[in-house]
């Protein structure tokens, strides 16, 4: 199987702090990481390769520093990496991003042969849209399925198990196909230094700019993006009482809380109902 | 309204003028029990947008044997329903359902399409939008309309939940957005409302995916978005045992447990029960946050809680600034004491509450004087 995995190099959003005095985000010094939800996607692709042979190609559309992200996946055992990068790609929304990725997959097919499966993470931690997988499927005209936890081949077709809010489903999907892998579905294997080095020696990361892909500049980046951010505001604060109590001991804490809640007309009734019904 | 200069558009996009598009669509998810509540909730923003655009609200209903549910959409506010009822749609496949909706949208040209961001909605929405070469904005928390340009503003918290981004798609129609369940209420039903129901045939499609097997999972408990009291735990619980204690508290209060993303990430509680930007929005009467720091992405999910109680060991924790009643201390001891005190009150009866209130009122008075 030839499997493409899409990843994103994202700021570690957990490390982004808010400065309440200036009302801005503190992003300086925030380290970038591979989007954590893409690691199970890479793991799923590698397990399919372990079982059925073939190759795993990791791809991202991003500025050059994202090479570190590609190296991480190479270190897990991916065979090749492709960086799709161009100033013209800047400012892309998900439609324009997915367009470049889809055309990147087409070029991968021209270079190395047909792709059987494109695997994505469920969503990114910095935008959480979960758009890219379905959009790439739409550009390529491939069937797709989200939230996959397990995948294998049966009678030459792809089988997947996925979980919805209140159902477990198994699907048979014809290939080529797109799947997105559920968050935390699989534990990703560690990075091996020897893999990283070998990948670097044998097949360095392939870089394709827009010239290589030959895309109309009106279809990529900001120009190729139907959505426009027209303004950004701050959410108004919800008024709260903000009464903070330092109790003498745990019992005092418990009694203080209950005294507040029982004397508060908004909560009294629901507590009476809970304790004595009606 | 802006005229679109076709020469400037990506040639992969159809060149259409905004005035060719009319009406606000809500994609309705039909389940065994009827139209999903999450879809009905989307009628609330749809009605508001339609009012501002002087448009109709149209429900889109796909499936097999679903025609009987069209009425529900009308009673809750839709002016019209387009039904595609066909055996080919007896199973949901994102690509197949997506393509049927794309074909309808090409025929009728809706100005706006709204979907509930359920797992299926999140799966199907971007396919529909992309195949129409239209923009899509996920997880909107509000919508507005620029009445001059007829642009819908799709409002969502980006990245950091304290901000709101206003997104529009001035050069493409339809304008497509999703919202998480329970961000909007279901509009009240009016049993006497009448509306038009149209039937359409699906295009001939072959599903390239096939459902082999489905197991419906029974929900053991009330989903958190329905609960009046929620006891929610965070990283500060230190481990899964902490949730046992919270369960005990929740059960005395007739409530349910939920958690922060860090608690979910640690595997102490299921993602179903995550509150916040990438979890659920809840609106209980009482939200007790235990060992939760109060990150913006968490707090956005409890904006509509009537009262918030915070229990946290760190007096500097940001949650104290966003709660009604905060107590500083180790949660284990405090939750233990809460359970014990609630049991005592329950056994002693309502008059014990009066004593408690009197005691603390006196204390507050004393503190005020001192
Ligand atoms: C795009 C994006 C989306 C996100 N979506 C969500 C979301 O949907 N939901 C969500 O919750 N988060 C979300 N987050 C994560 C969020 O930013 C926070 O990291 C998270 O909410 C923190 O969880 P926490 O409060 O449990 O943990 P922490 O921030 O680690 O806080 C733990 C708290 O426990 C207290 N504590 C420790 N020990 C005790 C004790 N013994 N007794 C009492 N208190 C104690 C500590 O003082 C501390 O305040 C998102 C982040 C991003 C970037
Ligand atoms: N710039 C990108 N390059 C390659 N893959 C991406 C990119 N952005 C997102 N993806 C993939 O698409 C998934 C969903 O992302 P999103 O739609 O941004 O939430 C991610 O988990 C990645 O697998």
Is A247's CB within 8 Å of B328's CB? yes
The residue of chain B nearest to residue A236, with distances taken between CA atoms, is B162
Is A261's CB within 8 Å of B277's CB? no
Contact predicate B62/B30, CB 8 Å: yes
Q: How far apart are CA A243 and CA A253, in angstroms?
A: 13
Q: What is the mean pLDDT of residues B266-276?
A: 93
The reply to whether A174 touches chain B by the CB within 8 Å rule is yes
Chain B residues in contact with A99 (beta carbon < 8 A): 12
Q: How far apart are CA A63 and CA A197, in angstroms?
A: 22
Q: How far apart are CA A55 and CA A153, in angstroms?
A: 15
- Give the gap in angstroms from C-alpha A198 to the nearest C-alpha of chain B: 33
**Residues with a CB atom less than 6 Å from ligand 1:** A 13-14, 125, 128; B 159, 234-236, 260-263, 274-279, 291-293, 295, 297-298, 311-314, 317, 330-331
Q: So what's the pLDDT on residue B171?
A: 92
Chain B residues in contact with A127 (beta carbon < 8 A): 158-159
Q: So what's the pLDDT on residue A203?
A: 77
The reply to whether B162 touches chain A by the CB within 8 Å rule is yes
User: How many contacts (CB atoms, under 8 Å) link A and B?
Assistant: 298
Contact predicate B232/B256, CB 8 Å: no
Is B94's CB within 8 Å of A144's CB? yes
Q: What is the mean pLDDT of residues B153-159?
A: 86
**What is the CA(B136)–ligand 2 centre distance, in A?**
15
Residue A75 Cβ contacting ligand 2 at under 6 Å: no
Q: How far is CA B131 from CA A157, B14, B146, in A?
A: 25, 11, 26
- Give the gap in angstroms from C-alpha A101 to the nearest C-alpha of chain B: 13
- β partners of residue B307: B286
Contact predicate B46/B81, CB 8 Å: no
Is A257's CB within 8 Å of B308's CB? no
Position with higher pLDDT, B128 vs A22: B128
The reply to whether B336 touches chain A by the CB within 8 Å rule is yes
B27, B30, B36, B42: CA torsion to nearest 10:
10
Please give the backbone phi and psi of residue B288, each rounded to the nearest 5 degrees, phi first.
-105, 110
pTM: predicted TM-score of the whole model, two decimal places: 0.87
Chain A residues in contact with B217 (beta carbon < 8 A): 166-168
Q: So what's the pLDDT on residue B203?
A: 84
Q: How far apart are CA B131 and CA B203, in angstroms?
A: 15
**What is the CA(A137)–ligand 2 centre distance, in A?**
13
Q: So what's the pLDDT on residue B222?
A: 76
Give B168-224 pLDDT, tens digit per residue.
999 999 999 999 888 899 999 999 999 999 999 998 778 899 999 999 887 666 789
Average pLDDT across chain B, whole number: 93
**B323 closest CB neighbour out of A242, A246, A253:** A242
Tokens 């905004």 found at: B18
Q: Which ligand is nearest to the CA of A94?
A: 2
Token pair in block for residue A274: 């809970």
Q: How far apart are CA A218 and CA B318, in angstroms?
A: 45
Contact predicate B80/B198, CB 8 Å: yes
Q: So what's the pLDDT on residue A23?
A: 52
Q: How far apart are CA B20 and CA B173, in angstroms?
A: 9
Q: Is B197 exposed, middle or buried (0-12, 13-18, 19+ CB in 10 A)?
A: middle
Does residue B250 register a pLDDT over 50? yes
Q: How far is CA A44 from CA A75, A118, B125, B211, in A?
A: 15, 11, 25, 21
Tell me the percentage of chain B whose pLDDT exceeds 70: 96
Q: So what's the pLDDT on residue B370?
A: 43
DSSP class per residue in A31-70: PEEE-GGGHHHHHHHHHHHHHH--EEEEEEES-GGGHHHH
Does residue B110 register a pLDDT over 80? yes
Average pLDDT per run of 10 along chain A, which is 278 residues long?
97 68 64 95 98 98 96 96 97 97 98 98 91 98 97 95 93 97 95 88 91 98 94 85 96 96 95 88
Chain B residues in contact with A214 (beta carbon < 8 A): none
Give B294-314 pLDDT, tens digit per residue.
998 899 899 999 999 999 999
Is A225's CB within 8 Å of B278's CB? no
**What is the CA(B348)–ligand 1 centre distance, in A?**
37
**What is the CA(A68)–ligand 1 centre distance, in A?**
28
Core vs surface per residue B301-322: b (16+ CB within 10 A) or e: bbbebebbbbbbeeeebbbbbb
Q: So what's the pLDDT on residue B13?
A: 95
What ipTM score was computed for the predicted complex, to two decimals? 0.88
Q: How far apart are CA B311 and CA B331, in angstroms?
A: 6
Q: Look at residues B227, B228, B232 and name the one whose alpha carbon lies nearest to residue B247.
A: B232
Does residue B39 register a pLDDT over 70? yes
Chain B residues in contact with A98 (beta carbon < 8 A): 130
The model's confidence at residue B368, banded by pLDDT at 50, 70 and 90, is low
């Amino acid at each position: 199987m030839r499997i493409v995995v899409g990843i994103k190099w994202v700021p570690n959003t957990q490390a982004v702090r808010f400065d309440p005095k200036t009302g801005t985000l503190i992003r300086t010094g925030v380290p970038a990481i591979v989007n954590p939800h893409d690691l199970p996607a890479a793991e799923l692709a590698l397990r399919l390769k372990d079982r059925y042979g073939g190759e795993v190609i990791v791809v991202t559309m991003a500025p050059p520093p994202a090479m570190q992200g590609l190296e991480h996946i190479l270190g897990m055992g991916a065979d090749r990496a492709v960086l799709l990068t161009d100033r013209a790609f800047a400012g892309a929304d998900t439609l324009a991003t997915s367009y470049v990725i889809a055309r990147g997959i087409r070029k991968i097919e021209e270079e190395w042969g047909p792709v059987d499966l494109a695997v994505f993470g469920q969503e990114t931690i910095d935008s959480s849209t979960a758009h890219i997988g379905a959009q790439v499927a739409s550009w390529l005209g491939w069937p797709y399925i989200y939230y996959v936890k397990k995948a294998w081949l049966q009678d030459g077709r792809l089988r997947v198990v996925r979980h919805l809010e209140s159902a477990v489903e198994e699907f048979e999907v014809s290939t080529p196909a797109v799947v997105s892998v559920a968050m935390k579905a699989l534990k990703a294997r560690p990075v091996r230094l020897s893999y990283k080095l070998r990948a670097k020696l044998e097949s360095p990361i392939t870089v394709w700019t827009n010239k290589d892909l030959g895309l109309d500049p009106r279809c990529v980046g900001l120009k190729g993006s139907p959505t426009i951010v027209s303004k950004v505001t701050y959410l108004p604060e919800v008024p709260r009482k903000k009464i903070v109590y330092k109790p003498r001991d745990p019992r005092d804490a418990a009694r203080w809380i209950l005294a507040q809640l029982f004397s508060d007309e908004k909560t009294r009734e629901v507590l009476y109902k809970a304790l004595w019904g009606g | 309204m802006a005229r679109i200069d076709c020469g400037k558009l990506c040639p992969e996009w159809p060149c259409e003028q905004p005035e060719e598009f009319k009406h606000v669509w809500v994609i309705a998810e039909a389940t065994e029990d009827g139209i999903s509540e999450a879809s009905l909730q989307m009628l609330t923003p749809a009605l508001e947008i339609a009012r501002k655009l002087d448009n109709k609200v149209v429900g889109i209903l796909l499936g097999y044997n679903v025609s009987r549910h069209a009425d529900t959409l009308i009673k809750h506010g839709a002016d019209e329903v387009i039904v595609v009822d066909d055996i080919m749609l007896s199973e949901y496949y994102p690509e197949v359902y997506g393509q049927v909706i794309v074909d309808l949208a090409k025929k009728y040209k809706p100005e706006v399409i709204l979907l509930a961001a359920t797992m299926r909605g999140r799966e199907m929405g971007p396919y529909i939008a992309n195949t129409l070469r239209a923009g899509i904005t996920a997880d909107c928390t509000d919508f507005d309309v620029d009445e001059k340009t007829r642009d819908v503003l799709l409002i969502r918290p980006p990245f950091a939940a304290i901000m709101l981004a206003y997104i529009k798609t001035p050069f493409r129609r339809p304008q497509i957005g999703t919202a998480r369940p329970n961000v909007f209420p279901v509009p009240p039903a009016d049993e006497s409302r009448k509306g038009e129901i149209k039937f359409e045939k699906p295009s001939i499609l072959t599903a390239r995916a096939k459902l082999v097997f489905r197991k419906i999972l029974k929900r053991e408990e009330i989903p958190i978005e329905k609960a009046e009291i929620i006891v929610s735990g965070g990283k500060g619980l230190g481990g899964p045992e902490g949730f046992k204690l919270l369960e005990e508290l929740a059960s005395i209060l007739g409530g349910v447990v939920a958690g922060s993303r860090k608690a979910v990430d640690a595997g102490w509680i299921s993602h179903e029960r995550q509150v916040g930007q990438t979890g659920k929005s809840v609106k209980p009467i009482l939200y007790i946050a235990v060992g939760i720091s109060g990150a913006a992405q968490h707090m956005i999910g409890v904006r509509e809680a009537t009262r918030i109680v915070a229990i946290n060991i760190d007096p500097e924790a940001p949650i104290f600034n966003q709660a009604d009643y905060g107590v500083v201390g180790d949660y284990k001891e405090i939750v233990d004491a809460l359970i014990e005190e609630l049991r005592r009150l329950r056994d002693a009866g309502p008059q014990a509450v009066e004593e408690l209130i009197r005691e603390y009122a006196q204390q507050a008075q004393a503190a005020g004087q001192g």
